[in-house]
């Protein structure tokens, strides 16, 4: 089974590419979805977060208030490290279980949608990698518009990740998403064809 890592940065368009891959019928393990799953009420991840950061990160109904947690950790590198230390082992375990199950089915290829592929050292899990790239000014503009953030808060979130310019050097292939979506989609199809996947 060929394991292909898909990564990018916040507001780079990686999720759009992931959606296209799913629509084309490729199996895809979504690290962000798993990250959401492990912090649902009753899950070990949420218990860990409350134990460390307090009940202030919860909504009244006991579910995680992602906005409050985000403001807390994006402004403080040490708290972000603590958050990752709490949740990453749970996320990795669930991803590995899903990957093993897909491999047992004998599937020829699987995509692993992992925003922090290189930061987390998970490129060892993959045979190839794709980075969805945009220049930082476009990334900043899209993030501010999408999340209704001021420039300072948006830049803090961008700086919390490895720069896309660095990721593109480490990836097997790059999809440039700075133009119209139709061009991005064409790049994806061309890449998949070159790898004999479609």
Measuring CA to CA, how many Å separate 69 from each of 36, 59, 179, 198? 13, 11, 33, 41
pLDDT digits (tens, 9 = 90+) for 8-17: 999 999 999 9
Whole-angstrom Cα distance, residue 73 to residue 3?
31
Average pLDDT, the chain: 94
- For domain 31-106, the CATH class is alpha beta
Whole-angstrom Cα distance, residue 123 to residue 109?
16
Residue 31 assigned as binding residue: no
Residue 11 assigned as binding residue: yes
Residue 160: its pLDDT value, please? Answer: 83
Tell me what the mean pLDDT of segment 104-119 comes to: 94
Q: How many CA atoms lie within 13 A of 128 on its CB side?
A: 15
**Position 77 pLDDT exceeds 90:** no
Q: Which alpha helices (H) appear in the chain, and where do they start and end? A: 14-23, 31-37, 44-53, 66-74, 77-104, 136-147, 151-159, 164-170, 181-194
- For domain 1-27+109-198, the CATH class is alpha beta
Q: How many CA atoms lie within 13 A of 115 on its CB side?
A: 19
Cite the residue boundaries of each domain of the chain with CATH code 3.40.50.300: 1-27+109-198, 31-106
In the numeric block, the tokens 């061009």 are attached to 183
Residue 16 assigned as binding residue: yes
**Position 132 pLDDT exceeds 90:** yes
Please provide residue 80's backbone torsions phi and psi, each rounded to the nearest 5 degrees: -65, -40
pTM (predicted TM-score): 0.88
pLDDT digits (tens, 9 = 90+) for 48-73: 999 999 999 999 999 999 989 988 88
Tell me what the mean pLDDT of segment 164-188 comes to: 97
**Position 30 pLDDT exceeds 90:** yes
Residue by residue, DSSP assigns 5-22 as: EEE--TTSSHHHHHHHHH
Question: For residue 124, what is the DSSP state?
Answer: G
Residue 126 assigned as binding residue: no
- Contact indicator for 151, 140 with CB cutoff of 8 Å: yes
């Amino acid at each position: 089974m060929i394991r292909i890592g898909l990564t990018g940065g916040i507001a780079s368009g990686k999720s759009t590419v992931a959606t296209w891959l799913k629509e084309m019928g490729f199996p895809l393990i979504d690290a962000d979805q798993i990250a959401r799953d492990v912090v649902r009420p009753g899950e070990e991840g949420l218990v860990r977060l409350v134990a460390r950061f307090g009940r202030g990160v919860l909504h009244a109904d006991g579910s995680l208030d992602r906005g409050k947690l985000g403001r807390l950790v994006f402004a403080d590198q040490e708290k972000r490290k603590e958050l990752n230390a709490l949740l990453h082992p749970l996320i990795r375990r669930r991803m590995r279980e899903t990957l093993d199950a897909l491999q047992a089915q004998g599937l020829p290829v699987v995509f692993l949608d992992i925003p922090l592929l290189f930061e987390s050292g998970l490129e060892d899990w993959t045979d190839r990698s794709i980075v969805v790239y945009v220049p930082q000014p476009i990334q900043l503009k899209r993030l501010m518009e999408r999340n209704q953030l001021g420039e300072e808060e948006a830049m803090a979130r961008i700086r919390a990740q490895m720069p896309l310019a660095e990721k593109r050097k480490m990836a097997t292939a790059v999809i440039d998403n700075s133009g119209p979506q139709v061009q991005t989609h064409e790049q994806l199809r061309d890449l998949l064809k070159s790898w004999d996947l479609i």
